[in-house]
Amino acid sequence: MYDGTSRPPLFTPARRRRALRVAAAAMALSAALLAAGCGSSHDTARDPRVTAPSADGFPVTVDNCGVRTTYEEPPSRVVTIHQHPAELMLALGLGDRMVGTAFPDSAVLPELRKDYESIPQLAEKEPSFETVLEAEPDLVYGGYGSAFAGNEGRSREAFTDAGIDTHLNREYCGEKRVTMDDTYDEIRTVGTIFGVPDQADELVSDLRARVARAAKAVEGQPAVPVFVYDSGDKAPFTAGGRSLGTEVIRLAGGTNVFADLDDVFGDVSWEQVVERKPEVIAIYDYAGAGSVERKKEFLLSQPALKDVPAIRNKRFVVLPLTATLVGVRSAYAVEDLARGIHPESFA
């Protein structure tokens, strides 16, 4: 009961639909239990953060970045904030569940482009809370932590109050160093939430095979030191040891020269870049950070960097930022980077 001392929950159309779905699911579950004499087998998903106690996978409970959500049925109206969650959903064949997306920052995979362009774009950056509500989603899936920025009114609690579930890409749970296994687990978790575990398993198998082929091609080659240049002039902003980018570099036959940076991303100094003598520079390409050509020109024009091997030999590899995050693109990034680091292995 609302006591007048705090903001009452928003009873939006999405919340009314959710309440009806929960009631219907409960009735259906009760009927199924009666028909079966209350005897049913319970399967548990492989990820310990996911439990699916019924034979058809629902209800399913997911622990995501400290938020525990029970889905009585697959979400049917989804808004994705940031590009990589949208691409992951499209790769699973879930485009018909998407009612909006926001913040495109890289070229979309060619095979997903047509479907991506058919989804309403709610905003060029993160949309406002009100804009998301207007799409009447039952789930908001965010790629970066900023998808649920409380100081901009989009906290996960605010969406919960509005009767809308949320899911955050696990890379921003801040638990540990991110690896390709997190990508595979994220895909399987999303597959479980939407009731498409077979499609998720098939996608994971395809991505694993792609990574294995690239890693096999560079097997036995000496690891090449790689510096990730995201952005920055006075201080370079780079990928740290907890980022998936570090794992991508390793699988591609290199080493991240800032793997000791205990963060997903962070600022370092140009003096450190010079000291660590990278032989290849991986440039992250995304909207709003300047063109790749401008980044190259900036790096090549810095006198302090002239003796860095990667600068002296002009060895750059360009990767879309979305290809270095937990999502379907990271497997492609391993191959692209491997070709740039060890071109002789792909001759």
Nearest one of 265, 223, 272 to 244, comparing CA atoms: 265
pLDDT of residue 175: 64
pLDDT of residue 12: 42
222-346 shares the fold of 13-20+34-203: yes
Q: Which residue has the tokens 């998936």?
A: 244
Distance CA 5, CA 2 (A): 8
Nearest one of 3, 21, 5 to 13, comparing CA atoms: 21
Please report, for residues 131, 254, 261, 277, the alpha-carbon distance to residue 247 in angstroms, rounded to integers and kept in the order given: 36, 9, 14, 20
pLDDT of residue 173: 83
Distance CA 269, CA 109 (A): 33
pLDDT per residue as tens, the chain (347 positions)? 323 333 333 434 444 444 444 444 444 434 333 333 343 333 434 565 666 555 477 999 999 999 999 999 999 999 999 999 999 999 999 999 999 999 998 889 999 999 999 999 999 999 999 999 999 999 999 999 999 999 999 999 999 999 999 999 988 887 678 899 999 999 999 999 999 999 999 999 999 999 999 999 999 999 999 999 999 999 999 999 988 999 999 999 999 999 999 988 999 999 999 999 999 999 999 887 788 999 999 999 999 999 999 999 999 999 998 889 999 999 999 999 999 999 999 97
Q: Which residues touch 143 (CB under 8 Å, ≥6 apart)?
A: 80, 81, 82, 83, 84, 85, 103, 169, 172, 325, 327
Decide which of 3.30.420.40, 3.20.20.70, 3.40.50.1980, 3.40.50.300 is the CATH code for 13-20+34-203: 3.40.50.1980
pLDDT of residue 44: 39
Domain ranges, ordered by start, for the chain: 13-20+34-203, 222-346
Class in CATH terms, 222-346: alpha beta
- Residue type present at position 173: C
Omega prior to 59 cis, within 30 of 0: yes
Distance CA 122, CA 140 (A): 13
